[in-house]
A and B are shown apart, each in its own frame.
Chain A
Amino acid sequence: MNPRISMFLKLAVLAGVVAFPAFGSDFYAELVAKVLILAIFAMSLDLLVGFTGLVSFGHAAYFGVAAYAVALLTPQYDPANLWLALPLSIGAAAAAAFLIGLFVLRTKGIYFIMVTLAFAQMAYYVFHDTPLGGGSDGIYLNFKPDTSIAGWAPFDLNEPLHLYYFVVAALLVVFGLLKLVLRSPFGRVLVGIRSNEHRMLSLGYATFRYKLAAFTLAGALAGVAGFLYAVLFGFVTPEYLSWHKSGDVLLMVILGGMGNLVGAIAGAVAIVGLQEVFTGWTKHWQLIMGLTIVAAVLFMPGGLTAVPGRILNWKNGGAK
């Protein structure tokens, strides 16, 4: 697609997102905020899957750890301070990712997929079976974090509008950060690892360290999403770490087109959009979702962002 058109489209969408609350109802604002948070989650996984070639089926673990962190950091009768809670939650998610990464990155291919799933399940059981996080019932975030620095609060997360723009800002920051990282020498190595890890090793790169760093960074960014999700909805359950959640976000990345940050965002929009539409039709919406996924894999390799290219290809009679 022409870069100018692409840039124009992106800016138009951004403008729409920023202007949205003025036109939409509160319910839809919350829905859009949820989509944006899941888009952050999807981008963090795309770093692993689409750019480094690490198919993690346990990414929800870090999302959940950060969500539980902010809930646990919030005292019973007071809000936590955002400027403490956010870094600590992200740090918790990053630490979990680092520790689990030390184990799972010893494996490759299909083993990697399976062990990331298994470790996430382990994390799920930690929160589900132990009293740490209130067990299977989960816990409430009694108060949304307070944003004051030395007595002055620049904004108030209890105001839906402020929270909305906070989420938008977070998305832009994560997007920008990932763009920077991916064009850096470090990011180039990750893409090289995905293309041909054996060659990277023989060129002198200690690929394990790079993969571990990417895994940790991806976990940290998933933690940003988890933190925001807990703040938005006000409660955290073990289901945040369930493999269904890991599967959903993987779906978003793959369907949106991997190796493409905008694709990850598009995937999140598509999946949440489909979920909203399908739940409106029937209580057995997962059946339709499942059928859609199967159909998408069979008929749409390359994901959503490949669709425009494929349509163009088809129009031009397959010439490339």
Chain B
Amino acid sequence: MDFVSFLIQILNSLQYGLLLFLVASGLTLVFGIMGIINLAHGSFYMVGAYLALALTSLTGNLMLAIALGIPLAFVFGALLEWLLFSHLYKRDHLEQVLLTYGLILIFEELRSLAVGDDVHGVAIPAIFSASIPLSENLSYPVYRIVISVVCLALAAGLYFLIQKTRLGMMIRAGSHDRDMVKALGIDINLLYRTVFALGVALAALAGMLAAPISSVYPGMGSSVLIISFVIVVIGGVGSVWGALVAALLIGFADTFGKVLVPDLAGLMVYLVMAGVLLWRPEGIFKKG
């Protein structure tokens, strides 16, 4: 592989990994803080992508669509938590698995009813539609770099939120001792609702960003979900930092896997997971 192709794969790996991080961070936060395993998390990614589709055809501009979509996703997440997930905190993992599995079915069918089962494309915004030439015949799409930049900014924002703000302090406290948080007079219900909605919004945003490059299609939620699970397992449940490291690891493993061993491409991710499991069964950065 020559240098330019190698560089392209590095950029692709980063972009893919960072996008996965957005999705996985929500999943690991929700589990770390509230102790809920949510199989429907992949559906939020799908919802984001379809939101991008709908809002872009409405407004004609993906960026506007994203700007509108984020608050919508946040409200959607808050509603969902209030209606359903708030009942799951005291239930065991089995019931959570079951209920969220039912949710996946509901979301998939609602999507099918609303938008049908076809594959759709979403246009890249005009200002990002150029490509940067890297060599005589290879160039790299600006939009992919934009995705990476946005995700990095969000990662930084998330770090700032968790480490430096009061909400972040509550999040960190809540993940260690729920009763203590309540005793401190913090409204735990509001905290949980906020964290959940944040997770939904992050996953939906990832879907919106990814829509132009991965297309919008029915199975997209499932595939991202399982990879998110792998990332959370490798990174350690509840660890946002771990999710970032693991997501990048997976991004590289998957991208280079597809290039170097195309027949085993789908398996690379799981082989990495198997390897990590042998070494550290509780994840590289286990919480606490």
Give me the interface of A with B, judged by CB distance under 8 Å: 49, 55, 57, 103-104, 106-107, 109-111, 113-115, 117-119, 121-122, 125-126, 128-130, 243, 247, 250-251, 254-255, 258, 284, 286-287, 289-294, 296-298, 301
**Secondary structure dominating the interface of B:** helix
Interface residues of B in 167-196 (CB under 8 A from A): none
Between A and B, 6 residue pairs with Cβ closer than 8 Å are: A106-B277, A115-B277, A125-B266, A251-B101, A287-B106, A294-B102
Residues of B in contact (CB 8 Å), total 43
Residues of chain A within 8 A of B266, CB atoms compared: 125, 128-129
- Asked if residues A287 and B93 are in contact (CB atoms below 8 Å), the reply is no
Give me the interface of B with A, judged by CB distance under 8 Å: 31, 37, 84, 87, 91, 93-95, 97-99, 101-110, 112-113, 222, 226, 229-230, 232-233, 237, 263, 265-267, 270-271, 273-274, 277-278, 281-283
- Asked if residues A290 and B94 are in contact (CB atoms below 8 Å), the reply is no
Residues of chain A within 8 A of B229, CB atoms compared: 114, 117-118
- Asked if residues B98 and A286 are in contact (CB atoms below 8 Å), the reply is no
- Asked if residues B99 and A294 are in contact (CB atoms below 8 Å), the reply is yes
Question: Who on chain B is nearest to A288 by CB?
Answer: B109
- Asked if residues A290 and B103 are in contact (CB atoms below 8 Å), the reply is yes
Given contacts A103-B278, A119-B274, A125-B267, 13 further A-B contacts (CB under 8 A): A111-B282, A115-B277, A117-B229, A119-B270, A122-B271, A129-B265, A250-B98, A251-B101, A286-B108, A290-B109, A294-B103, A297-B102, A298-B99
**Cross-chain contact of A290 among B102, B113, B278 (Cβ < 8 A):** B102
Task: Give complex CA distance A119, B107 in Å.
Answer: 25
Question: Who on chain B is nearest to A119 by CB?
Answer: B270
Residues of chain A within 8 A of B109, CB atoms compared: 284, 286-287, 290
Question: Who on chain B is nearest to A293 by CB?
Answer: B102
**Cross-chain contact of B102 among A104, A111, A126, A291 (Cβ < 8 A):** A291
Question: Who on chain A is nearest to B113 by CB?
Answer: A284
Q: Quote the shortest CB–CB distance from A46 to chain B (angstroms).
A: 12
- Asked if residues A121 and B106 are in contact (CB atoms below 8 Å), the reply is no
- Asked if residues B95 and A297 are in contact (CB atoms below 8 Å), the reply is yes
Select the residue from B87, B226, B278 with max chain A CB neighbours within 10 A: B226
- Asked if residues B93 and A110 are in contact (CB atoms below 8 Å), the reply is yes
The 10 A-B residue pairs whose C-beta atoms are closest, nearest first, are: A293-B102, A290-B105, A287-B109, A290-B106, A125-B266, A122-B270, A106-B281, A297-B99, A114-B229, A294-B102
Residues of chain B within 8 A of A297, CB atoms compared: 91, 95, 98-99, 102
Task: Give complex CA distance A290, B98 in Å.
Answer: 10
**Secondary structure dominating the interface of A:** helix
Task: Give complex CA distance A255, B265 in Å.
Answer: 36
Task: Give complex CA distance A121, B42 in Å.
Answer: 15
**Cross-chain contact of B283 among A111, A126, A284, A294 (Cβ < 8 A):** A111
**Cross-chain contact of B94 among A49, A126, A128, A294 (Cβ < 8 A):** A49
Select the residue from B102, B113, B278 with max chain A CB neighbours within 10 A: B102
- Asked if residues A294 and B106 are in contact (CB atoms below 8 Å), the reply is yes
Task: Give complex CA distance A111, B101 in Å.
Answer: 17
- Asked if residues B93 and A118 are in contact (CB atoms below 8 Å), the reply is no
- Asked if residues A130 and B263 are in contact (CB atoms below 8 Å), the reply is yes
Question: Who on chain B is nearest to A121 by CB?
Answer: B226
- Asked if residues B233 and A290 are in contact (CB atoms below 8 Å), the reply is no
User: Do A294 and B84 form a contact, CB below 8 Å, given A289-B102, A289-B105?
Assistant: yes
Task: Give complex CA distance A258, B93 in Å.
Answer: 14
Q: Quote the shortest CB–CB distance from B86 to chain A (angstroms).
A: 11
- Asked if residues B99 and A293 are in contact (CB atoms below 8 Å), the reply is yes
Q: Quote the shortest CB–CB distance from B132 to chain A (angstroms).
A: 33
- Asked if residues B87 and A107 are in contact (CB atoms below 8 Å), the reply is no
- Asked if residues B232 and A114 are in contact (CB atoms below 8 Å), the reply is yes
**Cross-chain contact of B273 among A110, A118, A287, A298 (Cβ < 8 A):** A118
**Cross-chain contact of B226 among A104, A117, A296 (Cβ < 8 A):** A117
Task: Give complex CA distance A16, B101 in Å.
Answer: 33
**Cross-chain contact of B233 among A115, A129, A293 (Cβ < 8 A):** A115
- Asked if residues B101 and A126 are in contact (CB atoms below 8 Å), the reply is no
Task: Give complex CA distance A246, B6 in Å.
Answer: 39
Residues of chain A within 8 A of B233, CB atoms compared: 107, 111, 114-115, 118
Task: Give complex CA distance A95, B84 in Å.
Answer: 40
Task: Give complex CA distance A290, B94 in Å.
Answer: 16
Task: Give complex CA distance A55, B263 in Å.
Answer: 31
- Asked if residues A254 and B94 are in contact (CB atoms below 8 Å), the reply is yes
Q: Quote the shortest CB–CB distance from A260 to chain B (angstroms).
A: 14
- Asked if residues B222 and A287 are in contact (CB atoms below 8 Å), the reply is no
Task: Give complex CA distance A104, B222 in Å.
Answer: 21
User: Do A111 and B237 form a contact, CB below 8 Å, given A103-B277, A125-B266, A129-B265?
Assistant: yes
Task: Give complex CA distance A115, B233 in Å.
Answer: 7
Q: Quote the shortest CB–CB distance from A130 to chain B (angstroms).
A: 7
Residues of chain B within 8 A of A106, CB atoms compared: 277-278, 281
Residues of chain A within 8 A of B273, CB atoms compared: 115, 118
Task: Give complex CA distance A121, B228 in Å.
Answer: 13
Q: Quote the shortest CB–CB distance from B204 to chain A (angstroms).
A: 20
Task: Give complex CA distance A31, B95 in Å.
Answer: 28
Task: Give complex CA distance A114, B227 in Å.
Answer: 10
- Asked if residues B98 and A107 are in contact (CB atoms below 8 Å), the reply is no
Question: Who on chain A is nearest to B101 by CB?
Answer: A247
Residues of chain B within 8 A of A243, CB atoms compared: 222, 226
Residues of chain A within 8 A of B265, CB atoms compared: 129
Residues of chain B within 8 A of A292, CB atoms compared: 102
